[in-house]
Amino acid sequence: MNRSAGRRLTAAVLTVVAVTSGATACSSGASGTSTKGSDGGTFTVWDPYPQFDKSSAWAKLLDGCGAKAGVKVKRTAFDTGDLTNKALLAAQQGNSADVLIVDNPVVSTLAEAGVLTSTDDTRLDVSTVDHNLIAAGQSGGKTYGTPIGANTLALYYNKAVLKAAGVDISSVEDWKSLTAALAKVKGAGKKGITFSAIGTEEGSFQFLPWYWGSGAQLTALDSDKAVSALSLWKNWLDKGYAPNSVINNTQTTSWQEFATGDYAFAENGTWQLANAAKAGFDYGVIPVPAATGGDAAAPTGGEFVTVPVQDDTGRYATTQKLVSCLSSSQNLLATDTTLSYVAPTAEVQDKQVAADPGLKPWVDAVHAAKGRTSDDLGTKYPKISEQLWKAVQSTLSGSASPKDALTAAQSAAAK
């Protein structure tokens, strides 16, 4: 690693280590996190799936890909936030994993710190991956890894609530028609829409479909379009179409409100599909509408399979085989079904919809989605996001107008 990359890495480590402590990891192999096998035939994989033990389909897939490549795979699982810190420290110590699976907004942080190889280095073929999904792993004109799958946000709706209010879901196609539907629902004695506006990344994540749906860009938080998006949410609270609880709602507590059966709509993600099936009422899903119609771009969640820099570049050939195996069409179908993800390629998406037609709205939402660090924002995104959620909190709590809150946010983000 060159000297400038070393400086970038040290800065990144200091940034991340300050907010992470008390690491806990689980491993399907031997204990500890040493990344080099003594026999030279062991390749290490670090992932953010501690919920899967060595008997899981995921762990067995890793072992199978290792066997296919002629090596043994040693897997260690971390909590998502802890994994970034561990990856940065390991790179600083020259002890990186061979394969690193990380949340997609983290890719640009690791890439800019000099931790990751690009697909040019590893000759990894990502030509079939949807362009809007691979963009989350691009920085400075290069691509770092490949998405293992994606989740995103859409609107769940309660069919019985809408029917009682006389709302035809096909009429909901833009902000005006959605707001009109909420007014009818309230008039019928039910509740309108719930979402998460908490003062964390979750709040920004949930606001982004409306923000991008207005046509606003994250480089200009104080634009008129941005103000219109925040004004939409504020108007819903003022008119009682959304509850004041959204200010503190996480995506989990927001879902719990929807699960009562009293709400017409809830903004939430694919990860709630299992809960939706157990809700006890008929529901449907539509993409978040853009201001003037069509599908708004929602932010993508999900992980990238990446390849950290190694001193022994001879390892890359085998690592590439492991990554290609994990991201192959055959394996993606099973993996993304397990993770409740939409696959990153059209071929596998078609197979998912054929197996479960209910996934079609989610595939459409993923097609319209974009990465939070796309538009080459890279490591600028976390600072922008923090100011965005602060503006949302200020506005919804009544302490500032949408315009004043976003003007302050833009000023802080630009410093």
Give 233: exposed, middle or buried? Use CB within 10 Å, 0-12, 13-18, 19+.
Answer: buried
Q: What is the pLDDT of residue 3?
A: 39
Query: Within the chain, which residue ranges are assigned CATH 3.40.190.10?
Result: 3-150+301-368, 153-298+377-414
> pLDDT of the chain along its 415 residues, tens only?
443 444 444 444 434 433 333 333 343 443 334 444 434 599 999 999 998 999 999 999 999 999 999 999 999 999 887 898 999 999 999 999 999 999 999 999 999 999 999 999 999 999 999 999 999 999 889 999 999 999 999 999 999 999 999 999 999 999 999 999 999 999 999 999 999 999 999 999 999 999 999 999 999 999 999 999 999 999 999 999 999 999 999 999 999 999 999 999 999 999 999 899 999 999 999 999 999 999 999 999 999 999 999 999 999 999 999 999 999 999 999 989 888 899 999 999 999 999 999 999 999 999 999 999 988 888 899 999 999 999 999 999 999 999 999 999 999 999 8
Q: What is the pLDDT of residue 378?
A: 85
This prediction's pTM: 0.84
Q: What is the pLDDT of residue 376?
A: 83
Q: What is the pLDDT of residue 62?
A: 96
- Alpha-carbon gap, residue 343 to 347, rounded angstroms: 9
Give 280: exposed, middle or buried? Use CB within 10 Å, 0-12, 13-18, 19+.
Answer: exposed
Crossing angle of the two packed helices 360-368 and 346-355, in degrees rounded to 10: 150
- Alpha-carbon gap, residue 204 to 12, rounded angstroms: 22
Q: Which fold has domain 3-150+301-368?
A: D-Maltodextrin-Binding Protein; domain 2 (3.40.190)
CATH class (in words) of the domain with range 153-298+377-414: alpha beta
3-state secondary structure of 66: helix
